[in-house]
Amino acid sequence: MAKWQALIFDVDGTLADTERDGHRVAFNRAFQEAGLDWDWSVELYGKLLAVTGGKERMRYYLDQFRRDWPQPADLTEMIAQLHKAKTKHYTELLATGAIPLRPGVQRLLSEARTAGYGLAIATTTTPANVTALLEHTLGPDSIGWFEVIAAGDIVPAKKPAPDIYHYALGEMNLPPEECLAFEDSENGLISAQKARLTTVVTVNGYTQNHDFSGATLVLDCLGEPEQPFQVLAGNPQGRTYFNLDLCQALPRS
Ligand code: XBP
Ligand code: MG
């Protein structure tokens, strides 16, 4: 009996390295289009990623870094409009193929599907961003590979709250102990752990120094047969890339 019934994937930073050259660029294009002097450098964006959710992140930016900027009475509406524009820019960026899947992601998804695992997504990002990423990297049919795409505002509290994972588990009607989560950030790991999920982390440029205590495995990426992963924490039990063999050998945390 397979130990895990389903694999639940975070999106940004996990399926693809979307933040620096994707979301950040889209935010800046939306700011410029709106005639704002807001410009999120690679370094500043790394600080802003402490807050999940693009709308919440813009508010955090104003509160923490732009106390000089006079906030209008209809700030909520303004942020909503900016976020809509940003999402348009982001999905257009994805359509150019600018953001590929990370190593091992397509292979693992395909192996899991063939082996009959359930697949799910649990992300803070906007649903349109998820479908655009899947469409432009795996083709339009790939959206149907996932039993549930739990994304964005569908839950009241974003990561590190566990809400989005609770929602995904509920939709699949599976207990957390039968599901394995894949994340890239400390906020994401905390969210999955609060939902009592065993979690594998693949770090990226923005998250490599985060605290991943309690993750079952911390890797630089899922790897490929000809592109071994680097193990930052945990026991890969002699494997050099993440496949279903290793998946089933992982201890439940
Ligand atoms: C990452 C996020 C998102 C994206 C931006 O989500 O926190 O907010 O940075 O997307 P995850 P939106 O790692 O959970 O996939 O602007 O649509 O929020
Ligand atoms: Mg992430």
| pLDDT level of residue 3 (50, 70, 90 thresholds) | confident
Q: Which atom of ligand 1 is nearest to the CA of 164?
A: 14
Q: pLDDT for 138-197, tens place per residue?
A: 999 999 999 999 999 999 999 999 999 999 999 999 999 999 999 999 999 999 999 999
Q: What is the pLDDT of residue 24?
A: 99
Number of alpha helices (DSSP H) and beta strands (DSSP E) in the chain: 9, 7
Does residue 193's CB lie within 6 angstroms of at least one atom of ligand 1?
no
217-219, strands of its sheet edge to edge:
148-151, 118-123, 6-9, 179-183, 198-202, 217-219, 231-234
| pLDDT level of residue 10 (50, 70, 90 thresholds) | very high
Q: What is the pLDDT of residue 2?
A: 61
What residue type is assigned to position 190 of the chain? I
What residue type is assigned to position 82 of the chain? L
Helix (H, G, I), strand (E, B) or coil at 195: coil
Is residue 5 pLDDT above 60, yes or no?
yes
Which of 25, 42, 57 best tests ligand 1's pocket when mutated (most atoms within 8 Å of CB)? 57
Measured in whole angstroms, how far is the alpha carbon of residue 158 from the centre of its chain?
A: 12
**For this structure, is 10 an active site residue?**
yes
- Please report which ligand is nearest the Cα atom of 49: 1
- Token pair recorded at residue 103: 């190593």
Distance CA 73, CA 54 (A): 20
Q: pLDDT for 26-51, tens place per residue?
A: 999 999 999 999 999 999 999 999 99
**For this structure, is 163 an active site residue?**
no
| pLDDT level of residue 253 (50, 70, 90 thresholds) | confident
Q: Which atom of ligand 1 is nearest to the CA of 19?
A: 9
Q: How far is the CA of 122 from the centre of ligand 1 (A)?
A: 11
- If we measure between CA atoms, which residue out of 190, 203, 159, 205 comes closest to residue 42? 205
Q: pLDDT for 86-111, tens place per residue?
A: 999 999 999 999 999 999 999 999 99
What residue type is assigned to position 171 of the chain? E
Helix 75-95 to helix 127-138 angle (10° resolution) is 0
Q: What is the pLDDT of residue 1?
A: 46
Q: How far is the CA of 68 from the centre of ligand 2 (A)?
A: 30
Residues, Cβ < 5 Å to ion ligand 2? 10, 12-13, 184-185, 188
Does residue 191's CB lie within 6 angstroms of at least one atom of ligand 1?
no
Does residue 22's CB lie within 6 angstroms of at least one atom of ligand 1?
no
